[in-house]
Chains A and B, each alone.
Chain A
Amino acid sequence: MSTDDSQRSESVTEEQPLPMESERIEAQMDRLVAADTDVLGAEPAAADLPVAARSSARTVMIRFFRHKAAMGGLVVLALIVILAFSSVGFGPFPGWWHQDYRVPQNIYNGGRPTLQLWPFSLGKHPFGQDNIGRDYFALVMTGAQQSIIIAFLVGFIGSAVGTVIGAVAGYFRGWTEAVLMRLTDVIITIPLVAIAAVVATIANGIGGVWLLGVFIGLVTWTGLARIVRGEFLSLREKEFVDAARSVGVPSGRIIFRHILPNTVGVIIVAATLAMSSAILLESALSYLDFGVQAPHTSLGQLINVYRSAMGPRPWLFWWPGLFIVAIALAINFIGDGLRDAFDPRQDRQKA
């Protein structure tokens, strides 16, 4: 690997040098790059200039960790997830908050929130109580858990189905593609809220919050299927696919082991953004009475139940709403950071 080449080394990292040597080259490159920029008097030796022998996964990771908004989003999301799952407990695991969201209690201080930021104290009912005295912190935390679970399920299933359908359509072409893409067109003509409301009603008939997530996931894959198909259409003409085919690698293996890893960036970004829209979709459905149903709770369902309480007890409306916004915003920022990290074209624009 000559020094000239390594300036644009991202594409030349297939054969990794030995670890020792790679470090040596890296050090050398840093010096060279530094010297280069000194001469040109351009930007200071920014560490995100392409450097020899950095695997693309690592480059992506470094770019992602430099993205301030994305890191902020990651921290916020982690805090919310930890708070929601540790406070009221999950499944067999008990939480540190010892009030049940189902049990009405005496109303304390008019049901107002007792949360104090400075000096910090939670008080008896940090998020207040609802009109029959149930602890609202426990309710919101349980609702947040459900919303997060549904969002992850929707994001995961939607992305998985979309990826497989897009990949198969893009790889096999012909009538497979025609059938799958017409199916996608058919589902795309239906407004998302409409079809999601219908499948959610069916899921509620059978019962279960998890099933709701699965069903909504089964109708939100269309966008990603189109994107993945587009990627596959161009990648399947590449030499490495011809090479694999000519040595007799079966189609399934070519799709999942040879081509799919090249589209992973697009898929991860789309999956992340799908999760944030799933949070919003779930809450909108619950608000319309088609989502999570009464014995269960979710952030959207809480807003739906307490919307008439807006005047006398505004906190019943604020807390779940703020959690929805915070979760969706955090995931959106993470998605944006991932997009910047996976898409090197963004770099050129910044330069």
Chain B
Amino acid sequence: MAVFVTRRLIVSFFIVLASTALMYVLVALSGNPLHDLLEYSGPGRAERIADRTRALNLDVPIPGRYGLWLQDVGKCIVPGGNDCTLGLDRAGRPVLPQLQTAIGSTLRLVVAATVLALLIGVVAGIVTALRQYSTFDYGVTFVAFLCFSLPVFWVSTLLKQYIAIDLNNWLADPTMSYAALLAVALIAGVLWAVVVGGERRTRWLVFGISALATFTTLFLLLTTDWFTKPSLGVAGILVIGLGMAFLWAALFAGLRPRTRRVLWTSLATAAIGTVVIVAAQPLMDDMSWLTFFLMALVLVGIGVAAGLVGGGHVKRLAAQIGAVTGVTMTVLMAVDQMLSSYPFVYRATGGRPIPTTGSETPNLHGDFWQTNTDLALHLVLPTLAIMLISFATYTRYTRASMLDVLNQDYVRTARAKGLNERTVIVRHSFRNALIPLATLVAFDFAGVLSGAVVTETVFGWSGMGRLFQTGLTNVDPNPVMAFFLVTAIATVLFNLVADIAYAYLDPRIRLS
């Protein structure tokens, strides 16, 4: 293992070295860096050209310039040095501070899109595999193909032009006519009926229940003015937490008497977690990332402890599901806090809470939750735009991989020895179907980054896409190389992690 990682790291180092060299030469050759000055005819033309030549070292041949750039990068690797700049751009400003401001917003976008696409894509893929050749399957297949075929920038512009404006208008005055309510409820009913499937009776039942539930929920939310002052509240956290706890236990442990204890410990975690969250309310006002992670640790710890204490003969499983419930409670806590700070952000953005330009509201001066709410609201539309393609990829691969697994002999064996359907699907099929996804996530990362470059342009973010684009337009290699260094290292590391994860998940593979 250690040998494998070391060898791969060494190989990766040379690969990154080679690709930076290739990229540097290509960027340097991509145009004339003095292009704009040669057309300029004002005073001081010669000095400007001389300045630019000095800034970009144009009197050194390209391989030499690459050497100089490598030297600048080397200064960042050498410990103790404080002249780490990643080179200067053509105006003589160091690149590193620019990269540092750019990397945060891009990373947020890429991570949010990947996580969301992975969650939704895997769930949709599993359900379509289980309901192969159903209406839902065909529907999702068509949507996936459509997502594959959508140009990112086109979708982004559409979202910006139509969704953002309409949504903001609606949020300013959140009312719905009865007809609209009814329409939403009916659509929700049809969707659920199609997803659940089954006999005609079941379908009608599902349709009726989900339509009614949607209608009542929306009606209540609208009449209580929830959309202008949203929050979950203690009751909301408790009810949703208990519901999720029940769901996790039912899904991963089953509700039969043998594993009934898992359900109890999981529900207990949700209940105790709610109490802890209520008790910790004074902490919420000056939260920082450190206290947030401590809080998450406490909640997960409660879950694990509850599982170990009350789990009986299924201790391990109960502890695992307790941990999952703990994470759920953390998420609920964060959602509750962020929803509560929504009115502040709403006022700060002048009543247009879904922004279409920039990655944060300037001069917000909010606390931890308010800042994060603002960031999250800025993420909504760009994330939606770039997750479409990843979503399509994940759905198709999960579906194919799940179908592949369901046809394996060991699944037939599991059925033949009388295991119930839940165990067969969750424990025997689902886990194995996820293995190929490890590689896919690493590979898809580069794709999401490409999408981010385009999306950032549409939404006017000054992220890494901007760094790359202006750098390339100006034939200014150092900013482009800063962008590229980050993506190349990330890609190489992701691939390494994927290989290790693959070997860990599939014992048939040995790292050597």
A interface residue numbers (CB < 8 A to B): 182, 185-195, 197-199, 201-202, 205, 276, 280, 283-284, 287-290, 300, 303, 307, 310-311, 314, 317, 321, 324-325, 328-329, 332-333, 336, 348-349
Could you say which residues of chain A place their CB within 8 Å of the CB of B472? 197-198, 201, 290
B453 at the interface (CB under 8 A from A): yes
Query: Smallest CB–CB gap between A294 and chain B, Å?
Result: 15
B317 at the interface (CB under 8 A from A): no
In the assembled complex, the Cα of A280 lies from the Cα of B152 at a distance in Å of 8
Could you say which residues of chain A place their CB within 8 Å of the CB of B29? 202
Whether the Cβ atoms of A303 and B153 lie closer than 8 Å is: yes
Whether the Cβ atoms of B23 and A284 lie closer than 8 Å is: no
Could you say which residues of chain A place their CB within 8 Å of the CB of B23? 190, 194-195, 198
Query: Smallest CB–CB gap between B102 and chain A, Å?
Result: 15
Whether the Cβ atoms of A194 and B151 lie closer than 8 Å is: no
Could you say which residues of chain B place their CB within 8 Å of the CB of A333? 145
Whether the Cβ atoms of B491 and A283 lie closer than 8 Å is: no
Q: Pick the most buried of B148, B157, B453: most chain A CB atoms within 10 A of its CB.
A: B148
Whether the Cβ atoms of A329 and B149 lie closer than 8 Å is: yes
A194 in contact with B154 given A280-B149, A348-B407 (CB within 8 Å): no
Whether the Cβ atoms of A189 and B453 lie closer than 8 Å is: no
Could you say which residues of chain A place their CB within 8 Å of the CB of B158? 321
Known: A189-B16, A202-B29. 12 other contacts (CB 8 A): A189-B19, A189-B487, A190-B487, A191-B446, A193-B450, A194-B484, A202-B30, A284-B151, A287-B153, A287-B454, A324-B154, A328-B151
Instruction: Return the contact of A329 from the options B146, B447, B468 (Cβ within 8 A).
Output: B146
Could you say which residues of chain A place their CB within 8 Å of the CB of B22? 186-187, 190
Whether the Cβ atoms of A182 and B446 lie closer than 8 Å is: no
Instruction: Return the contact of B446 from the options A192, A280, A325 (Cβ within 8 A).
Output: A192
10 contacts between A and B (CB under 8 A): A182-B18, A189-B15, A189-B487, A192-B446, A198-B30, A284-B454, A303-B154, A328-B150, A328-B151, A332-B149
Query: Smallest CB–CB gap between A124 and chain B, Å?
Result: 27
Could you say which residues of chain B place their CB within 8 Å of the CB of A288? 453-454, 457, 469
Query: Smallest CB–CB gap between A180 and chain B, Å?
Result: 13
Could you say which residues of chain A place their CB within 8 Å of the CB of B16? 189
In the assembled complex, the Cα of A232 lies from the Cα of B16 at a distance in Å of 27
In the assembled complex, the Cα of A332 lies from the Cα of B141 at a distance in Å of 12
Interface residues of B, count at CB 8 A: 43
Could you say which residues of chain B place their CB within 8 Å of the CB of A332? 145, 148-149
B185 at the interface (CB under 8 A from A): no
In the assembled complex, the Cα of A321 lies from the Cα of B158 at a distance in Å of 10
Instruction: Return the contact of B449 from the options A191, A195, A325 (Cβ within 8 A).
Output: A191
B27 at the interface (CB under 8 A from A): yes
Whether the Cβ atoms of A328 and B148 lie closer than 8 Å is: yes
Instruction: Return the contact of A189 from the options B152, B457, B480, B488 (Cβ within 8 A).
Output: B488
Whether the Cβ atoms of B484 and A325 lie closer than 8 Å is: no
B283 at the interface (CB under 8 A from A): no
B161 at the interface (CB under 8 A from A): yes
A-B residue pair count with CB separations less than 8 angstroms: 128
Query: Which partner residue on chain A sits nearest B148 by CB separation?
Result: A332
Query: Which partner residue on chain A sits nearest B27 by CB separation?
Result: A198
Could you say which residues of chain A place their CB within 8 Å of the CB of B473? 289
Q: Mark B14-35, 1 if CB is under 8 A from A, else 0.
A: 0110110011001101110000
Q: Mark B128-167, 1 if CB is under 8 A from A, else 0.
A: 0000000000000000011011111110011001000000
Whether the Cβ atoms of B15 and A182 lie closer than 8 Å is: yes
Q: In terms of DSSP, what is the predominant structure of the interface of chain A?
A: helix
Could you say which residues of chain A place their CB within 8 Å of the CB of B397? none
Q: In terms of DSSP, what is the predominant structure of the interface of chain B?
A: helix
Query: Smallest CB–CB gap between B501 and chain A, Å?
Result: 19
A191 in contact with B453 given A202-B30, A284-B152, A348-B407 (CB within 8 Å): yes
In the assembled complex, the Cα of A333 lies from the Cα of B146 at a distance in Å of 10
Could you say which residues of chain A place their CB within 8 Å of the CB of B488? 189-190
Whether the Cβ atoms of B454 and A321 lie closer than 8 Å is: no
In the assembled complex, the Cα of A125 lies from the Cα of B469 at a distance in Å of 36
Whether the Cβ atoms of B157 and A205 lie closer than 8 Å is: no
Query: Which partner residue on chain B sits nearest A336 by CB separation?
Result: B145
A199 in contact with B26 given A288-B453, A332-B148 (CB within 8 Å): yes
Q: Which 5 A-B pairs have the closest CB atoms?
A: A328-B149, A193-B450, A201-B30, A329-B149, A321-B154
Whether the Cβ atoms of B157 and A310 lie closer than 8 Å is: yes
Query: Smallest CB–CB gap between A52 and chain B, Å?
Result: 27
Whether the Cβ atoms of A192 and B450 lie closer than 8 Å is: yes
Query: Smallest CB–CB gap between A144 and chain B, Å?
Result: 14
Query: Smallest CB–CB gap between B31 and chain A, Å?
Result: 6
B403 at the interface (CB under 8 A from A): yes
Q: Pick the most buried of B403, B450, B454, B484: most chain A CB atoms within 10 A of its CB.
A: B450
Query: Smallest CB–CB gap between B435 and chain A, Å?
Result: 18
B483 at the interface (CB under 8 A from A): yes
Whether the Cβ atoms of A193 and B149 lie closer than 8 Å is: no
Could you say which residues of chain A place their CB within 8 Å of the CB of B446? 188-189, 191-192
Query: Smallest CB–CB gap between A318 and chain B, Å?
Result: 9
Whether the Cβ atoms of B148 and A276 lie closer than 8 Å is: yes
Whether the Cβ atoms of A185 and B15 lie closer than 8 Å is: yes
B306 at the interface (CB under 8 A from A): no
Whether the Cβ atoms of A194 and B153 lie closer than 8 Å is: no
B492 at the interface (CB under 8 A from A): yes
Query: Smallest CB–CB gap between A316 and chain B, Å?
Result: 12
Whether the Cβ atoms of A283 and B484 lie closer than 8 Å is: no
In the assembled complex, the Cα of A195 lies from the Cα of B468 at a distance in Å of 11
Could you say which residues of chain B place their CB within 8 Å of the CB of A300? 151
Query: Which partner residue on chain A sits nearest B133 by CB separation?
Result: A350
Query: Which partner residue on chain A sits nearest B154 by CB separation?
Result: A321
In the assembled complex, the Cα of A198 lies from the Cα of B469 at a distance in Å of 10
Could you say which residues of chain B place their CB within 8 Å of the CB of A307? 157
In the assembled complex, the Cα of A287 lies from the Cα of B153 at a distance in Å of 8
Query: Which partner residue on chain B sits nearest A198 by CB separation?
Result: B26
Query: Smallest CB–CB gap between A223 and chain B, Å?
Result: 9
Could you say which residues of chain B place their CB within 8 Å of the CB of A205? 30-31
A190 in contact with B484 given A201-B31, A284-B151 (CB within 8 Å): yes
Could you say which residues of chain A place their CB within 8 Å of the CB of B447? 191-192
